[in-house]
Amino acid sequence: MRVLVTGAAGHIGGHVTDELLDAGHEVVLTDLLPADEPRAAAVRTGDLRDAGLVAEAMDGVQAVVHLGAIPHPNVDDAGAMFAANCLSAHRVFDQAGRTGVRRVVAASSMAAVGLAWSPVPVSPAYVPLDERHPVVVRDPYGLSKVVLEQIAATAHRRYGLNAVCMRFPFTGTGDRLDHFLAACAADPAAQRHDLWGWLDTRDAARAVRLAVEGDIRGCHVVNVTAADTTSAVPSAQLMAEHHPGVPVPASVTGHGSLFDTTACADLLGFVPQRTWRR
């Protein structure tokens, strides 16, 4: 099918583009930066807040992968970041609904729960953390992802648009992943708000493709993470040291992930294939 990928020049965007092309799909790419991909059917460079750009890029597509956003709150103007992320998401979902696009797959974030970028110490109510965990957001980036998920739900109610919002943790491969793992080894406490979650970018791209291709109806929010943590320390020990008082059920063994990905497995048939452990 013909698929629009927003944020195509980004780290995840490049891997998603490769995954879709390798599966035989036709891609249209858009980003603030030029996406250097000669195999693309079209490339549109510009700002997703521009309704005209979004309409032009979405012409004739059957599905959209929405990755375009400012990916963190470490900016000079947090309000502008929040506004840009929210308006971009609304432009994409609303245009998709108006033009009959059958599905939007969007990159949400574990930050939508509110742990990841919290300016104060906070612990999860329970682990493994699932999609029903209460929202405790205190930062503008996480709030923009909460809004993205609500925009998706609104588009589904208004237009019948099918949507999958993927809550990704840190996502990386190669040097990017190596640096993140080294930081965790040096100071596991620095990733306590991330619950030591991660996902190989190639697995993220495969999950996106499965969501694009699957016969999925409705609007869904799913956790998508690796099956293990970023730490050499066992998961129960990590929780006891950095989140004391939060019980760890017996189902979490060894270095098992502290996120529940059952919903993603049930919806997409996705099981992560990669681990950093030798």
Quote the pLDDT of residue 187. Answer: 98
Q: Taking Cα atoms as reference points, which of 24, 25, 16 lies closest to residue 61?
A: 25
Residue 278 has pLDDT above 90, yes or no: no
- pLDDT, tens digit, for every residue of 168-224? 999 999 999 999 999 999 999 999 999 999 999 999 999 999 999 999 999 999 999
Whether 70 contacts 6, CB under 8 Å: no
Quote the pLDDT of residue 191. Answer: 98
CATH superfamily of 2-172+199-227+258-268: NAD(P)-binding Rossmann-like Domain (3.40.50.720)
Whether 37 contacts 43, CB under 8 Å: yes
What is the reported pTM? 0.97
CA–chain centroid gap for 240, Å, is 28
Residue type, 80: A
Quote the pLDDT of residue 89. Answer: 98
* Helix/strand/coil for 189: helix
Backbone angles phi, psi at 49, to 5 degrees: -75, -10
Residue 35 has pLDDT above 90, yes or no: no
pLDDT bracket for residue 148 (50, 70, 90): very high
- pLDDT, tens digit, for every residue of 88-117? 999 999 999 999 998 999 999 999 999 999
- pLDDT, tens digit, for every residue of 116-143? 999 999 999 999 999 999 999 999 999 9
Number of residues in the chain:
278
Whether 212 contacts 21, CB under 8 Å: no
d(CA 110, CA 31): 23
Share of the chain above pLDDT 70, in %: 100
Strand partners, 164: 105, 220
- pLDDT, tens digit, for every residue of 36-82? 899 999 999 999 999 999 999 999 999 999 999 999 999 999 999 99
Place of tokens 């503008």: 140
- pLDDT, tens digit, for every residue of 230-258? 999 999 999 999 999 999 999 999 999 99
d(CA 167, CA 221): 7
